[in-house]
Amino acid sequence: MSHNEQQDSAHKPVKRKEMSRRQFLSYTLGGATAFMAGGVVLPMLRFAVDPILVKKEEGGFVKVIEESKVTTEPQQIGFKVHQVDGWYESDPKMEAYIAKGEDGKVFALSPVCKHLGCTIGWSGEEAPNEYHCPCHGARYTKDGKNLKVAPKPLDEYQVKIENGWVYLGPLEANTRV
């Protein structure tokens, strides 16, 4: 490059790519609109999704009966469990058959038949010292072992004893049979 050419290019005004007024306005308005929409939509999204992200509350233990009142003969007991699932809170009524085993330990069984979910009963003329289901005739031993019709043993509640009281927790597969 000659000396003259260098001087020319040094004095040429730098060409800038200029933004038109229209472009400036549309960028500004677009940005402001997106910002405001985000302010409205994000809290709504958070509200909608939040309960799904929160860990489901584990079923706690519920105080149901004094340990001294539990006998070897199963007793039917009703109790309520507080549940929180997302936005929904409820206190469903639960039932259990509670008794002491041969080992003297307290255990509690679900009264829901493992055939099709009817409510079982304990003992009586047609099934002495057994659980029986009125729907299709399932039978279970005192420990919940399935004797006929039902494909599985009765479910068992987790049990803990504290200060002379029996507490029932979540249901699990029968551990006694």
Give contact residues for ligand FES (rule: CB under 6 A): 113, 115-118, 133, 135-138, 149
Residue 95 CB, nearest approach to ligand FES (Å): 15
- What's the min distance (Å) between Cβ of 114 and ligand FES? 8
**For ligand FES, which is the closer residue by CB, 62 or 135?**
135
- The residue among 114 and 142 lying less far from ligand FES, judged by its C-beta, is 114
Nearer to ligand FES, 81 or 112 (CB): 112
DSSP letters, 40-106, are HHHHHHHHHHHHHHSPPPPP--EEEEEGGG--SS-EEEEEE--EEETTEEE--EEEEEEEE-TTS-E
- Residue 137 one-letter amino acid: G
Whole-number minimum distance, CB 115 to ligand FES, in Å?
3
**To the nearest whole angstrom, how small is the minimum distance from the Cβ of residue 135 to ligand FES?**
4
Which residues, 6+ apart, have CB-to-CB distance to 12 below 8 Å? none
Between the two ends of the chain, the Cα-to-Cα distance in Å is 98
Phi, psi torsion values for 50, nearest 5 degrees: -50, -50
Using the minimum distance from each CB to ligand FES, give the nearer residue, 100 or 139.
139
**43 vs 137, beta carbon nearer ligand FES:** 137
Report, in Å, the least distance between residue 143 CB and ligand FES: 18
Would you tell me how many other CB atoms lie within 10 Å of the CB of residue 96? Answer: 26
